[in-house]
Amino acid sequence: MLKTGIDPYRLSRRGFLNAAALGAASIAVSACTTTGPTPAPVEPPPPTYDEPPLGDYATMYGPISDSGFELPAIPIKKMDPQFLRQIVPDPTGQRPGTIIVDTTNHFLYLVREGGQAIRYGVGLGRAGFEWSGDAVVQWKQKWPKWTPPDEMVARQPELEEYSAKNGGMPGGLKNPLGARALYLFHDNVDTLYRLHGSPEWNSIGKSVSSGCVRLINQDIIDLYDRVPSKSPVIVTSDIGQPMAAGANRRAIPIDGGVPDGSVLLGPVT
């Protein structure tokens, strides 16, 4: 008989101890599954907002077919490159998803995770029509209708055909609100200010409008696709500084349009 040097008693005892341990573990598992409370179902994480890729300039500012309209390419070589869409370090200190309009430098920032922001060039209101404050994107619209306020029609009678009583100007390539509009509210009240597109790409980086924030049509389409309704908006000349209490100011924006149900607001004193 071959001797292995292994004590059969020790082997049997080890096997017994292992079996006993397995048996105890089985009992413990059985006890957990039969007498313990039923675990609560795990809630799925909230859906994420899919962000489109940024792309290269030729793609970002090329021609676009959208809702039956043909947007022409932007001659980007004629533009100041600082006003082209780009990813930059976030200078605002705001939480991701916040839109900040820098009225000093004519930039709009969309804050991202990781200390970054997407920066767009914008056109702003001329002297006497500037504004600042905080708001939210209450709702968004593709190819919005434009309705000039009565004050503007009184100064420019040729706009009478687009007045509120005549139904406004339908969306289209010549519409001053461009391809998209984001409607800004403060405390559930329509400010009548908009973030909107513009066919006048050469007005970006300038202060020539009557108060609203204008972007190149290709840029407002990009911004529209990135931000959901209720996104916070801050318009300020002090990037990186907290908003002062009561800083929101509203005036009558001449190129903002008046959506159905809105009340035209006068200056807040």
Q: For residue range 11-44, list pLDDT tens digits in order.
A: 333 343 343 333 433 322 222 222 333 344 444 4
Judge whether 196 counts as a catalytic residue: yes
Statement: 57-236 belongs to CATH 3.40.1190.20: no
**Set 32, 106, 186, 212: catalytic member:** 212
Using DSSP bridges, classify how beta strands 180-186 and 124-125 pair: parallel, antiparallel or unpaired: unpaired
**How sure is the predictor about 216, in pLDDT bands with cuts at 50, 70 and 90?**
very high
User: For residue 88, what pLDDT is reported?
Assistant: 94
Angle in degrees, CA 124, 83, 85, rounded to 5: 115
User: For residue 210, what pLDDT is reported?
Assistant: 62
**How sure is the predictor about 52, in pLDDT bands with cuts at 50, 70 and 90?**
low
Give dist(CA 269, CA 266) in Å, integer. 9
Which has more pLDDT, 90 or 269? Answer: 90
**Set 32, 106, 186, 196: catalytic member:** 196
Q: Could you tell me the CA-to-CA distances from 133 to 25, 96, 225 in Å, in that order?
A: 64, 18, 24
- Calculate the CA dihedral of residues 146, 149, 153, 154 and round it to 10 degrees: 180
Give dist(CA 60, CA 85) in Å, integer. 8
Element holding 111 (H helix, E strand): strand 107-111
Place of tokens 């809630």: 43
User: For residue 130, what pLDDT is reported?
Assistant: 61
User: For residue 78, what pLDDT is reported?
Assistant: 94
Give dist(CA 91, CA 94) in Å, integer. 9
Give dist(CA 165, CA 210) in Å, integer. 22
User: For residue 196, what pLDDT is reported?
Assistant: 95
CB atoms within 10 A of CB 37: 5
